[in-house]
Structure 1
Amino acid sequence: MNPLDKSITFLLADDHSLIRQGIVFLLEEMEFECEIFHASTLKKVLESVQENPIDIAIIDAHFPDGNSLSILPDIKRIRPETKILIFSGIDENTQSLKYINAGANGFLSKLSEEDDVKNAILKMINEGEYISPTTQALLVNSFRNRNLINPLFSLTERELEIAEMYAEGLGNLEIANRLDIKQNTVSTLKKRIFDKLKIENIVELVELMKDHS
C-alpha cells in the first residue's frame, strides 16, 4: 500500500507559530490527506505523542523549556513507530549527528528551500527517514572518526573527569584539591579540554555535557 494513500498524522513542534503555519501551508500544497497537531513546548510534544498516533513529528531543536535532544528517547519509547524529523536553524555540520544518534530519523535546516522541505517530508513518509547529502557525508566520516558523533570521545579519561567536575560547578582550586594535583595543572587541562571541544566557556561545556551525557 502506498503510504500516501492513507491519512498521515503530523505533529508540528516549534515555539514559533509562524514556523508551524509555514509547514501547514506546505502540507496543504502537497495535497495529501493528513491530520495535524501542534506543540510549542517539549512538555506539549510528549503529551501529544502520548495522546495521538503520530506518524511524523517535525520538531525544532530548541524550546523555552529545553533541548529536544533530551526527549527523543522518550518519544521512541512511548511510540516507536513515530518518525522524527528535526527541523532547525542550528548548524547541520556540527549538530545533526547527535540528533540522529539520539533517535531522530532525519535532520533538515530551516534555511532549506521549500522544495527541499517538501522532499524531506515525502522521504519521511515513503522511506521513514531523510538523510541530506551533508548528513550522509558526516555519517560516512563518523565511521572513521567517532568524535563527530560525540566530541567527548576526544577527551582523555582525566580530561573527561575534570570536565564533569567543571560541569558540576567546581572551580580550579576545588578540582585540584579533590584530585590532589596542582592548580596550574588543572588550568592547563581546562584549556586543553576547551580546545578539543571547540568551546570558549563553562556554559558551553555544561550544555555540551548535557547533550552527550
Structure 2
Amino acid sequence: MKILLADDHGMVRQGIKMLLKETYPSAEIIEANSATALQDLIADDTLDIVITDLQMPGPLVIDVIKKIRADGSKVPIIVLTMSAIQQSAVRVIRAGANAYITKDNAPEELIKAVQYVLTKRRYITPEMTELLADAYVGGSDKLPHENFSEREFQVFQLFAKGKHISDIGTELALSINTISTYKARIMTKLDVKSNSDIIKYAYAHGLV
C-alpha cells in the first residue's frame, strides 16, 4: 500500500506512521509537511490513500481536495485534524473527503477509517451523520458564518482564538492588508463591530 501522509508537525507524522505500520507494516508512506507539498504529491495516481491535516502552510487543504476531485481522482482522503469544529467537518465532507477524524480519536478511529475508505466508502461517525443531515436539511435557515468562503472561515477561526492580524498573516502567508480585507468581510457578514464580538459569536455557536 502507498500512503501519502501530510502534516506540518514532524512528531505528529511520526506518531501516525507508527500507528499505521502496526497494521500495515509493508506500507510505503510518503510524507508532506505543507499544503503545497500535499498539492504536488496528491496527483500521484499510484497512491492508495491520503491522510492529511486540515490546517497547514500553503493553499487551503480543502481547496486541494476540491481540485483533486474536480480532476477526477478517486483516491480515498482522510482528514485528520485537531479541529473538532462542526462546520469544518461538514465543509470537508462536502469538498470530497472520505472521512473526518479528530486527532484526539486517532488511535481508535484512524485504522478503522482506513479500512472503510479503502473499499471506496465514506467513514461517517454517528455524530457526522447528524451534522450532515442538519446541514442539508437546514435549507434557507443558514447562520451567518455558514455563508463564509473557506478562507473567510479559516481567518474567522484564527480571530476567534484571539490572534492578531499580523500573527494571522504570518500563519497563512498572507499580507496584513489581505487579512484586514477578510476581517472586514467577516464582520459585515456577522454584523459585528469588534474582535470581542467575533470571539463571542464563535463561542456562542461552538466554533472554537
For the superposition of Structure 1 and Structure 2, which TM-score range results when normalised by the shorter chain? 0.5 to 0.7
| 8 Å contact from structure 1 (residues 10, 36) kept in 2 | yes
User: Which of residues 196, 200, 203 is equivalent to 2:198?
Assistant: 200
The structure carrying a bigger helix percent of its residues is 1
Unaligned runs of 5+ in 2: 149-177, 203-208
Q: How much has 1:193 moved relative to structure 2?
A: 3.2
Q: Residues of 2 paired with 1:94 and 1:171: CA distance? A: 19
TM-score by length of 1: 0.65
Query: Which of the two has higher C-alpha Rg?
Result: 1
Q: How much has 1:61 moved relative to structure 2?
A: 0.6
> 1:119 aligns to what?
112
| 8 Å contact from structure 1 (residues 9, 34) kept in 2 | yes
Query: SS of the counterpart of 2:191?
Result: helix
Query: SS of the counterpart of 1:64?
Result: coil
- RMSD (CA atoms): 3.4
Q: How much has 1:139 moved relative to structure 2?
A: 1.1
The CA deviation string for residues 106-160 of structure 1, in whole angstroms up to 9 with x for no partner, is: 1000110512222112112234321122111111112321438x7118xxxxxxx
| 8 Å contact from structure 1 (residues 92, 135) kept in 2 | no
> 2:205 aligns to what?
none
Q: Which amino acid aligns with 2:198?
A: E
Q: Residues of 1 paired with 2:119 and 2:88: CA distance? A: 25
Unaligned runs of 5+ in 1: 1-7, 154-165, 173-188, 205-213
1:12-161 counterparts in 2 under 5 A?
Answer: 12-31=5-24, 33-51=26-44, 53-78=46-71, 80-146=73-139, 147=142, 151-152=146-147
Structure 1 segments of 4+ aligned residues over 6 angstroms from their partners: none
Q: Which amino acid aligns with 1:151?
A: E
TM-score by length of 2: 0.66
Q: Residues of 1 paired with 2:65 and 2:5: CA distance? A: 15
Number of paired residues? 165
> 1:209 aligns to what?
none
Query: SS of the counterpart of 2:112?
Result: helix
Q: Which amino acid aligns with 1:16?
A: H
| 8 Å contact from structure 1 (residues 50, 78) kept in 2 | no
Q: Residues of 1 paired with 2:182 and 2:55: CA distance? A: 27
Q: Residues of 2 paired with 1:71 and 1:94: CA distance? A: 18
Q: How much has 1:77 moved relative to structure 2?
A: 3.6
| 8 Å contact from structure 1 (residues 56, 83) kept in 2 | yes
> 1:169 aligns to what?
181
Q: Report sequence identity in percent.
A: 23
Query: SS of the counterpart of 2:77?
Result: strand
| 8 Å contact from structure 2 (residues 69, 96) kept in 1 | yes
Cα distance change, pair 94–73 in 1 and its aligned pair in 2 (3 A): closer
